[in-house]
Amino acid sequence: GAVVSQHPSWVICKSGTSVKIECRSLDFQATTMFWYRQFPKQSLMLMATSNEGSKATYEQGVEKDKFLINHASLTLSTLTVTSAHPEDSSFYICSASVSQGKSYEQYFGPGTRLTVT
């Protein structure tokens, strides 16, 4: 089946620094990649939709300049949390979308736990 990886799996950074998270589709080319944020015991909140070679589409309320998304190829998307603050601490999950006939299926990465101190 389709495999999506994320790196790193967890990261601790100091307030004010930037952190880059990678999302890769290992055995398929993803039409689209998505970035979600999940707080403890809460749901997945869609942050942005990322298409290869074009600018990401951000959901309402998500700061574009704070959460930079780059989609360099059909197998790699990166999320950079700039000038991180403790409130950015969260579980970030990416997913990659692949066409299944007339519909799409999303495959999720294992997530990256970010802790900002």
Partner 1 sequence: GENVEQHPSTLSVQEGDSAVIKCTYSDSASNYFPWYKQELGKRPQLIIDIRSNVGEKKDQRIAVTLNKTAKHFSLHITETQPEDSAVYFCAASTDFNKFYFGSGTKLNVKP
Q: What are phi and psi of 22, to 5 degrees?
A: -105, 145
Burial class for 108, CB neighbours closer than 10 Å (0-12, 13-18, 19+): middle
- Grouping H, G, I as helix, E, B as strand and the rest as coil, residue 13 is strand
Exactly one of 50, 96, 109, 116 binds partner 1 (CB under 8 A); which one? 109
Opening angle at CA 76, ends 5 and 45, nearest 5: 65
Exactly one of 43, 54, 86, 87 binds partner 1 (CB under 8 A); which one? 43
Question: Residue 116, interface with partner 1 (CB under 8 A)?
Answer: no
From 19-27, 45-53, 70-78, 80-88, give the range in contact with partner 1 by CB under 8 A: 45-53
Residues contributing to the site for partner 1 (CB under 8 A): 31-32, 34, 36, 41-46, 49, 59-60, 93, 95, 97, 102-106, 108-111
